[in-house]
Structure 1
Amino acid sequence: MAHSVDIHVGKRLRHRRWMVGMTQGELASALGIRFQQIQKYESGANRISASRLWDTAQALEVSIAYFFYGLDARDSDIPDDFLDAETLIHFYRTMPDAERRLLREMAAGLRETVSASL
């Protein structure tokens, strides 16, 4: 049975890989392994060694700490919607320029409305 830490690290790995637009095959190639191993890491079925975690962090351009973020109870002051914010950033970055402009205008209008009501 998979350990809860391995599952957490695997979910963070999957999320980051998705955020940078990398396939399992591309990450596997960067690490010199097969994509099936990435699947096992992401599900928590296989543990990631320290050296492989280091290489993975380098390939995904994050610190090793990224994979453990939110695991410790001491991180309870971190908002639960942190990953949702990352997802929104990903969608924003992949939007066409015209849609981004409209979204910025909408956000500016919302900010003005909220400021006026305070």
Structure 2
Amino acid sequence: MKHPVDVHVGKRIRHRRWMTGTTQQQLAESVGIKFQQIQKYETGMNRVSASRLWDIARALGVSISFFFDGIDEVRQSPAEGMPGDLMGDREALELLRSYYAIPENQRRRLFELARVLSEAA
């Protein structure tokens, strides 16, 4: 049975990997393992050891604490209309990556537009 913390850490690994545009193969090579092991970590099937998490954090350019961000919210119910696992939702992550690729002044305008549209819905 998967432990919720292992699942959360795996999702955070996947989230950061997607945000950086890194493939499973590239991450695996940078930490000296097979890509299948990255797959197992990302699904929570295999627990990530402390030393391996250290290597993954360095390869992805984050602190180890990044992988535990939001852990307190793991068991809380999702907001209405939101996917239960926003960081595990590929569409949401792709939208977020695209959003931050937009220049800041245009991004603020887009944010305001989205807010108005969501309030009107």
Q: Scaled by the length of structure 2, what TM-score is found?
A: 0.68
Q: Which residue of 2 aligns with 1:15?
A: 15
Q: CA RMSD in A?
A: 3.2
Aligned residues: 101
- Is 1:66 the counterpart of 2:69? The answer is no
- Is 1:34 the counterpart of 2:34? The answer is yes
Identity %: 56
Q: Which residue of 1 aligns with 2:99?
A: 92
Deviation at 1:72, TM superposition (A): 2.2
Change (3 A) 1:107 1:65: same
- 1:27 aligned partner, one-letter code: L
Unaligned segments of structure 1, at least 5 residues: 95-99
User: For 1:105 and 1:52, how far apart are their aligned partners in 2?
Assistant: 36
Q: Which runs of structure 2 are paired with 1:39-50 in the superposition (5 Å)?
A: 39-50=39-50
Change (3 A) 1:5 1:20: same
Divergent runs of 4+, >3 A: 82-89
Alpha-carbon contact 2:57-2:63 (below 8 Å) kept: yes
Q: Which residue of the other structure, out of 98, 104, 107, is the alignment partner of 2:106?
A: 104
**SS of match in other structure, 1:62:** coil
- 2:97 aligned partner, one-letter code: H
Deviation at 1:87, TM superposition (A): 5.3
User: For 2:93 and 2:62, how far apart are their aligned partners in 1?
Assistant: 13
User: For 1:70 and 1:46, how far apart are their aligned partners in 2?
Assistant: 20
Q: Scaled by the length of structure 1, what TM-score is found?
A: 0.70
